[in-house]
Structure 1
């Protein structure tokens, strides 16, 4: 299953509408959203609690709030309720406002629980040190790498995720679309700023996966509504869907994912000895070959003769650990599903898409896997943890299902117009309109869903001038899509976040 596509924004009729190209990644019918009794707690019923956490050796007192805000249309009618959890560190009245971070996950259909209880919040799910799932029952632990010491945090669940619902079933369906999804989130942000008197705070958007696409679109839409951001943080970024869509006639993703295959083969010790000495050096070689000889071979297509194909297949196999005959059989084009099944075929196993270091038994090697080894590792502990945490620690009660990953939305409307989903242009527009806007891109080397080289390709093709390019920071991590699952990468992510946020608010 290809990673799902991406977002857009719907401005009021009096404003110009930022354009977002869109493409449907898959023609299979998605299941309808599950219908439940409609419950819409108002913002007045938000649960408020007080807590303490020790971050980087310092104890911090904070206030937590779990509740909903209404999504109102231009006529003032409430069409949905968006659930959120916020964390605020009280300050003296004379103190300058703290940075305020709005945080989204992806999917579409994923709640913010992954960044919430995995990386940024004051509590995190206790995984094994390498990121694997521990034995149940699952536990929460204090997050010493929380970002709460860097700013106040608002974890947002878009309509159809978490406890966020449309006021009517047909309205939930309305928000299962690119433009309404983004429009609802910009309305949420503006209302949150108003109700919490936070218009003077330094503002940041944080997104993971599809959430990065949301953030890019939001950055442009918000500035059109007068909301200028200090920074946008893109974790496991995908802004231009052409870079990851393995479609007939689109050779770009085959080129851009090859270095991720190299990193995976390196981790599983499938490369020749001369390529196993240093991962960074090996990646540099793979990236150079992918962007030169391999790119040229793909461009040649059927004009490439048999000898040329054999030569390319041999070099491809050298950088990926695959059999040259397999590469030739696939016409030099290996998508991520083929690679995930093939790299550990001899061991009877398959690697994960989100984190190719993880692996699981492959009972039917000839078929596409019906699951991702990464998702099977993370779904149970995060689902159990968020349900326990919201009720028992934050005091928020609801009989609805908290949709962590899918289930709350039906078929997503990609609003496709013979093009690929792409909000890179919107991010560029936001940077041009607000030259103070800083961008940070964080990528995992073992991510086969949103490859690091594809993210860097997109950022290198924004079309901004040299001065604005200085506002872009790119970091690689020896981790997967959810780089925060393991403690070492989590700590490094926090360290880099502190540096980025500090530079973005510096005047």
Structure 2
């Protein structure tokens, strides 16, 4: 689960038979240069068996800390990760580093819902998941048969913490975060003797922002080429996913296909034809008709305006009166309140399939995100799984949600203090473009949910079709779900199948060099 500006975070925030034994290990010296005690790095090792895509595997889970070191080889932070490992360091097995977004989200969502070998079961039809106990099931469809997996919790999330005299906020920023995660990967490869293993990055939402930036830092700072990147709910250029900025014409375009898909789901538009054809038509309308109209502003003729109003009604299901009142500019967050207003229902932002009966039926936008109802199930499942399956017996608090100070201290500034810098939309697409040009073998898989009103799928297309990115380097996949499309069971299975095939194709490509 992820969100990506401080404003969004305020609005949306919230938003595996097994044997085991525990082992503790010291990874670094016990003191730093200030002589403030640094505790021993901790890890818990458990042995497991499972069948994944027809393959019987013995694997181990190493749940523990990796210390980041400064130039004096002293620890500055502990990054906690859940490492699913098959075989040993001699086999050069691929490693996929996986993280969620936020910024300020632990890896819980992708771990317990998307890619982990066990998953929490929530209703596939976007119904309320109810209360504990929640069901955990084996997830034999996951990708452990072809790649080791490392689920990463950035500093201030999960068990990850700053150490010694280093403050947590030293890691809380766009550039700072990317650097720390790249440092973690390099340190992990050294610790596990996996430097010659194929490497994949997999992030969700802000985790895609991070993945693009990390790919460049890995190359420039550590001389590490990445074999492939998987974006789940792409969020590289925030202009196309910031509908709350009134004069942001781009967002009024990028959200149209998502609103069309959501209106189709709730049967507020004509569903007599093909869903795919309807979505394609909404794309064409947004680019060929709505964009020029908004650009013209008040010079738009009466006839042209009437045609745009009809088109917006056709694809969003909203009334002509409402479309006129908002001056053809439909705020996607307000759409979540308006679509089913006559029924007194608001729909989800992270997943437009979810519904909630809010007390205030006349507010402009939802006061909460209907899709957040799955959060308690994911939290309970992870906490239970860590103690029963992974034998993590630790008194340290698992931060999920993150450190409450993280959001207000997150640094979006990309220039050093004292250097002129004008605030602008976050955008790491140029970092991805740089990595793709520097590494001709690199390709990107983009997974999007049709009903995601936080990171709309058309924005992924808009973003990745620019910035000098070769279209042949990007593979797009679409799913009947929202931001966490894996909540919908058919989408989860398809996502894992598509991810597996993407990784296999990249490995085959590299073997042919």
TM-score by length of 2: 0.88
After superposition, the CA RMSD in angstroms is 2.3
Contact kept, 8 Å, 2:346 with 2:357, in 1: the verdict is yes
Which residue in the other structure is 1:130 paired with? 125
Given that residues 107 and 405 in structure 1 are in contact (C-alpha distance below 8 angstroms), is that contact kept between their aligned partners in structure 2? no
1:89 partnered with 2:118:
no
1:237-252 equivalent positions in 2, closer than 5 A: 237-246=234-243, 247-252=245-250
Structure 1 position 392 matched with structure 2 position 388? yes
Q: Could you list the runs of 5+ residues in structure 1 that have no partner in the other structure? A: 6-23, 32-37
Counterpart for residue 472 of structure 1: 474
Encode CA deviations 1:359-397: one digit per residue, 9 max, x unaligned. 11121122333321111x221011111111112211222
Distance, in Å, in 1 between the alignment partners of 2:129 and 2:198 is 38
Q: What's the counterpart of residue 421 of structure 1?
A: 426
Alpha-carbon distance change, 332 to 42 in structure 1, aligned in 2, over 3 angstroms: farther
1:62 paired residue number: 59
Mapped partners of 2:95, 2:198: distance in 1: 6
CA distance in 2, matches of 1:241, 1:503: 30
Runs of 5+ consecutive residues of structure 2 not aligned to the other structure: 14-35, 415-421
Which residue, out of 441, 457, 466, partners 2:462? Answer: 457
Q: Which position in structure 2 is the counterpart of 1:493?
A: 495
Map of 2:212 onto structure 1: 216
**Partner of residue 141, structure 1:** 137
Could you tell me whether the CA contact under 8 Å between 1:159 and 1:175 is conserved in 2?
yes
For 1:393 and 1:399, locate their aligned partners in 2 and report how far apart those are by CA, in whole Å: 17
Provide the residue aligned with 1:438 in structure 2. Answer: 443
Are positions 1:404 and 2:404 aligned together? Answer: no
Q: With CA pairs under 8 Å and 6+ residues apart, which has the higher RCO, 1 or 2?
A: 1
Give the Cα separation in 1 of the matches to 2:89 and 2:165: 44
| Structure 2 residue 507 is the aligned partner of structure 1 residue 505 | yes
Give the deviation of 1:137 after TM superposition. Answer: 1.3
Change (3 A) 1:302 1:473: same
Q: For residues 383 and 41 of structure 1, what CA distance do their matches in structure 2 show?
A: 27
Partner of 2:366: 369
SS of residue paired to 1:205? strand
The count of residues paired between Structure 1 and Structure 2 equals: 473
- Which of 310, 315, 319 lines up with 2:315 in the alignment? 319
Moved more, 317-326 or 245-254: 245-254
Q: Which residue among 472, 480, 483 is the counterpart of 1:481? A: 483
When structure 1 is superposed on structure 2, of 246-255 and 281-290 the one drifting more is 246-255
1:117 matched to 2:119? The reply is: no
Distance 2:491 2:468 in 1: 31
Aligned to 1:342: 338
Q: Equivalent residue for 1:4?
A: 4
1:235 to 232, 246, 254: 232
Q: Secondary structure at the match of 1:59?
A: strand
Instruction: Give the Cα–Cα distance (whole angstroms) in 1 for the partners of residues 269 and 275 of structure 2.
Output: 11
Q: Cα–Cα, structure 1 residues 90 and 470, in superposed 2: closer, same or farther, change >3 Å? A: same
CA distance in 2, matches of 1:39, 1:124: 38
Of 138-147 and 298-307, the range deviating more from structure 2: 298-307
Cα distance in 2, alignment partners of residues 28 and 425 from structure 1: 27
